[in-house]
Amino acid sequence: MKSPTEGIVYLVGAGPGDPELITVAGRRLVREADCVVFDKLVDRRLVALAPPGAERIYVGKAAGSRQHTTPQSRINEIIIEKAREGKRVVRLKGGDPLLFARGAEEAECLQREGIPYAIVPGVTAALATAATASLPLTHRSCSSAVAFVTGHEDPAKAQRLDWTNLANFPGTLVVYMALTRIGSVAGELIRHGKDPKTPLALVEWGGTNRQQVLTTTLADSADRPSPTQLASPVIAIVGEICEYRERLGWFEKRPLFGTTILVPRPAEQVASTVDQLERLGARVLVEPLLRIEPCEETEPIDDAIARLDQFDWLVFTSRNGVTHFLDRVWEHHGDLRRLGRCRLAVIGPATGEALAEYHLRPDLVPEEFSSEGLARSLIAKGHRGPALLLRANRGREVLQDELRGADWPVETVRVYRQTDVEAPSDETRETLRRGGVDWVLLSSGNMARGFVRWIDQEMEAAVRQKTRLASISPITSAVIRELGHDVGAEASSYTLDGLVEAICSQTSRHGG
């Protein structure tokens, strides 16, 4: 146990790339970390679990480069330096820290320097790939042993692999970091006695929704260039067990497998939607089009809170409106008893769920989840009670206008503001440019405008040919069409769940 001023390093296996496959212990340690030092293959959502004030240090391999941005010697120095600052350091490594991950070298270094450390195992790529690519590493009928082999030995030392023993190994061979060496590996195995007809599976991003599998034989791969349709990370599995893939396959049968979906909203607002899409097999990119921020001018909000007893209805048109308004009440005006006699109206279930987080229930949820539907439902109540509309700094005026047209006393207060994110991240931009995004989820007209604003000349053709836009409602669809784009799917129920259902329906109908 570390003392209050003594640092400690945890060498934590992050799993194969799916953030769901980290261990419970690993996830807890990331959430408690003062500093996270992480590799390229670590999903950024795991890094985001660290506390807001935690230091995050990337030490992975640069895209398109064979050189690490940070040499191993410098990585060792970093984790020692941070531990000596008294920090709880999580060294987050893809797969398992002690299987072809140089974790033993880091542990030796920490041991020499007298730095306390602990090792937390992770799901290694071989085990994840066995499950998701349906390549059982053992089977009573053909494989009772498994050998793990690296495609990249220490270049400073003589080759240590015993090809004769590997060629005659009575079981499954798993070759890590295999892509650039698979031709020579297959050739060596054949030259040392392995049957050229032995099945071989190459798996890119095994264990994740980005997974691709290429099945072949040693003979078809021996001494040939790496297959161009795959990119690192790739693991190779050699043996008769590859024949079970077609019989046992399940991972690729999920309805959205092979589909990449862009969800342009803040991650904390769409966690359940992202989980749902990923369970259905999609690769999900979360990239907010809009920043959600508190209003700089808080006097109108505070004035409205001070006069809450004058209103019969508090009307919320978004989850953000709920959180920003109620947080302001809680933090600066006592507690939620200030809502007193006010009844609560919300535009839809998601906004109602936001109220539930404050132990409140809406008095009114319209059947149609739109501003028009909310206006009709309020007007149908008959009583023209004074209403306080709590909303963003921009958006449609329909709700306010409809209520005033029905002689409702209405006051509008802007409780948060939306600002544009001018450009997507490099990863998202490049994926859009090469036509790698199949669907974009658009849950408002503002998001549709923001997405079209993102599309530059380099992306234009690919987006129009390859990317379909999914709309949450007819109103959002109208905006998409006004912007000159087609609507690929429209939700029948105006919710994120409805959007997911619409995409699944269209994907099933058109085969992807």
**Which ranges constitute the DSSP H helices of 346-422?**
349-356, 371-380, 398-405
Edge-to-edge strands, sheet with 290-294: 290-294, 410-420, 387-392, 313-316, 343-346
Residue 25: what are its φ and ψ, rounded to 5°? -65, -40
Q: Alpha-carbon distance 269 to 263, whole Å?
A: 10
Listed residue (190, 283, 199) closest to 236, CA to CA: 199
Edge-to-edge strands, sheet with 439-442: 283-286, 260-263, 439-442, 468-471, 489-490
Per-residue exposure over 7-25, b if at least 16 CB sit within 10 Å of its own CB, e if not = bbbbbbbbbbbbbebbbee
What are the structure tokens assigned to 420, written together? 């544009």
**Eight-class DSSP state of 253:** G
Q: Which amino acid is at 318?
A: S
Q: Length of the chain in residues, anyone?
A: 512
Catalytic residues: 39, 61, 177
Q: Which amino acid is at 184?
A: S
Q: Alpha-carbon distance 319 to 385, whole Å?
A: 23
Span between the terminal Cα atoms of the chain, in Å: 52
- Whether residue 243 contacts residue 141, with contact meaning beta carbons closer than 8 Å, is answered with no
- Whether residue 350 contacts residue 498, with contact meaning beta carbons closer than 8 Å, is answered with no
**Which ranges constitute the DSSP H helices of 168-292?**
182-191, 218-221, 245-248, 271-279
Q: Alpha-carbon distance 277 to 497, whole Å?
A: 10
Q: Alpha-carbon distance 501 to 505, whole Å?
A: 6
- Whether residue 491 contacts residue 473, with contact meaning beta carbons closer than 8 Å, is answered with yes
